[in-house]
Amino acid sequence: MAVSFYFDGKFRQSEFYEITNYYKKNANQYNLIFLGDSRTYTGIQPKLIDQRLKTTSLNIATFANWIPTQYPQIEEIISSIPKETIVVWSIGYNNFHRVADWRWAHNSVYFIGLHNIAYYIKIGFPVRVIINHLWKTSSLKEGLTWVKQGYFYEFSTSLKQNKFSEKTTTKALKKTNPYAKNYIIDGKKMSLYQIEASLEKDPFTSKFTEVVDGSDITSLVVHTKRGNYVRIELLPDYFREKQLEWWNKNRRPKEAYKPEDCYWKLFVAILDLFQKNNIKLIVNEIEEAPFHYNEKGFYTEGQAFSNEKVRPYVESRGIPYIRADFSQLDDSDYFDYNHLNSKGGHKYAELLSNKLYKTIMNFR
């Protein structure tokens, strides 16, 4: 027990653990849950889905929560999921491709668990990667840092209470006074005061933060009581320029798509876990921002992997597999390289809801 706490004591105070733990305690309140990585966290808005499907849903995803950390999280909640609850697990071809020298192990999103160490090594994860993950998730390594950053708080509390941001007051902002400007939000001209007042009145808002770059408030980050993250762009041109800048620095037109066998084995193990526990599962294929389509080799090979291996395998197990039409989205629907902004979230909610409705009806 002492050894286990040494490795996972710190992460168990994190926001992601808190929403996971919150769900375990309140699972009966929800009949639809969304699992996945940051594309789920930013792209799937339960409020909008529930309006269309008449469901009560919760988003239990976060940034950098890739398949290696999804597996222990699903282990944690699987026994708490009610038999009538539908689980939507969102994945894409990028979930099977190794990112930047096993980047998942460099963060402390979720501890894989001491009981999984031998299994991860057995299916092909390098020993050095597992050791690095243990170090990154250890209380000794990062506990003091997290305390300094004020990261310890009960996420279950933020799901119930509104915690609104104070107005940003830097010298640069005092000169430009962004609060006096008007912004176009959902086709309406609104001041920043009006936008923030509407967020404060929204019963789904948990808290929001102003994102500042130099003399501008470029966007608002909204955390909701249904677990998801919403980015409201105030200066759309700023984000389009940032996308172009990112593309010029990071494009990979010559990189081949290489799915890792150990990721595939974990993917299969997660499907086994769901089916062993008789969970009503829907696998939802999720995409990148459209400008990735220029990465001809990587994108076409990755999409072929989804079409020719992932989807047939999932469907061969009798599990529904859905995919919204991402051609109806464009770069202006994303606030960076693959995360939907609030405008894109509205579009995707309609596309996804149409797919989910038919599948959910089949379950019933």
* Domains delineated in the chain: 2-155+253-363 (3.40.50.1110), 164-250 (no CATH)
Please give the pLDDT value at position 287: 85
For 124-136, write each residue's pLDDT tens digit.
999 999 998 888 8
For 244-263, write each residue's pLDDT tens digit.
888 777 665 567 788 999 99
Q: CA 72, CA 207: separation in Å to the nearest integer?
A: 28
Which residues lie below 8 Å from residue 29, measured CB to CB, with a gap of 6+? 56, 58
Mean pLDDT value of segment 103-114: 80
More confident residue, 51 or 181: 51
Instruction: Give Cα 313 to chain centroid, integer Å.
Output: 24
Please give the pLDDT value at position 196: 93
Q: Could you tell me where the DSSP H helices lie in 89-224? A: 117-122, 127-136, 139-148, 155-158, 171-176, 192-201
pTM, entire model: 0.88
Please give the pLDDT value at position 168: 54
Kindly tell me if the per-residue pLDDT of 6 is higher than 60: no
Q: Which residues in 100-128 are b (16+ Cβ under 10 Å) and which e?
A: eebebbebbbbbbbeebbeebeeeebeee
Q: CA 39, CA 64: separation in Å to the nearest integer?
A: 9
- ∠95-98-99 over CA atoms, to 5°? 90
**What's the chain's average pLDDT?**
84
Mean pLDDT value of segment 324-330: 92
The identity of residue 189, as a single letter, is K
Kindly tell me if the per-residue pLDDT of 215 is higher than 90: no
Which residues lie below 8 Å from residue 302, measured CB to CB, with a gap of 6+? 92, 93, 94, 97, 257
Please give the pLDDT value at position 155: 35
Secondary-structure breakdown of the chain: helix, strand, coil percentages, each rounded to the nearest 5: 55, 15, 30
Mean pLDDT value of segment 29-49: 97
User: 104 with 66: CB under 8 angstroms?
Assistant: yes
Please give the pLDDT value at position 158: 45
